[in-house]
Amino acid sequence: MGENVDFRRWDELIPDALGLIFKNLPLQEILTVVPRVCKSWRKAVTGPYCWQDIDIEQWSQQCRPETLDRMLQMLITRSSGSLRKLCVTGLANDQSFSLIADNAKSLQTLRLPRSEISDSIVEQVAGRLFSVTFLDVSYCRNIGAPALEAIGKNCKLLMGLRRTMHPLEVIDKLSQDDEAFAIATTMPKLKQLEVAYLLISTEAVLKILENCPELELLDVRGCWNVKLDENCIKKFTQLKVVGPLVVDYFGMKGCDDCSNYSGSSGYLAWDFVAGNVGSDYDDEISDGDWEDDQSMEDVEMRFYDGFDLDNAAFDWPLSP
């Protein structure tokens, strides 16, 4: 290689460029490895370009509620209003949902399965979710028709809704047709709708089909009261109906963000078994690793699975 070749130093790249590179790394490395390399890299990972798309859904399944709240506070603060996608499971309170809504001016994809949010908080803050195009509120037991109606009235760009439930969570309900009617009357631009195991009737589904002319995928697996004949389906030439028949097919996942979905009606709803998170995995965070500086801007998170958390980071050099 010639001696006159110029090489750009990584630490001289502008933070915006570094952020675009670092956001492709695993969350663990962004929070624990990159900040320890040098000051410019640390600055980049505390800026917004790494945090336009935040996916902590898998990690949040194993963490404590208070730890999740603090992580959300840190990452959303770092996004500086540029958040476009957020995937997290198990929000424990309405305050966390309100925090998300307060920073949702650019938010397009929001996935909140298994969250303990209420109808009242959704009704209060739905107006701030005006840019959302895809929403996942599967297994959210404390919301119903009022929340869905508020979402439909305020999220005018909504094209995808996932409202899958677990059969055991709806066993005490007589009907959830009110949710279906809320969807039908307020979400006319839907292209993808997943309501697996919701207790809805044929009448409610027909109402959705009549009022949502752009619908391309309807997932009604496990909705045993729904009876759609072929003549009815033929009226909607672009529509793929999945279910209500359910065949156990472990590992099948549904579509994401209105794309790449399957029209096969023999698959099990993607997250019917997703609640069986392994209890052997323990990914706890030491409280001593958290520091408060400009809304925890400099917080670093330990993900060292199987290591001594008190000594795991000692072999990392300090930033210059």
239 in Cβ contact with 209 (< 8 Å):
yes
Helices (H), 113-245: 119-125, 145-154, 177-186, 202-211, 230-234
Residue 180 has a CB neighbour count (10 Å cut-off) of 28
At the top level of CATH, the class of 52-281 is alpha beta
CA 136 from chain centre, in angstroms, equals 6
**What is the rounded distance in angstroms from the CA atom of residue 196 to the CA atom of residue 162?**
9
Cα-based distances in Å from 66 to 10, 91, 203, 284, 294 = 36, 10, 43, 11, 19
Q: Answer positive or negative: Cα dihedral of 105, 133, 120, 66.
A: negative
- pLDDT tens, N- to C-terminus, the chain (320 residues): 455 556 556 656 666 677 777 777 777 778 877 778 777 777 777 778 888 899 999 899 888 999 999 999 999 998 888 899 999 999 999 999 999 999 999 999 999 999 999 999 999 999 999 999 999 999 999 999 999 999 999 999 999 999 999 887 767 778 899 999 999 999 999 999 999 999 999 999 999 999 999 999 999 999 988 988 887 777 888 889 987 776 554 444 444 444 333 333 333 333 322 333 333 333 433 343 334 343 333 344 434 333 333 333 323 333 33
Phi, psi for residue 77 in degrees, rounded to 5: -60, -40
296 in Cβ contact with 70 (< 8 Å):
yes
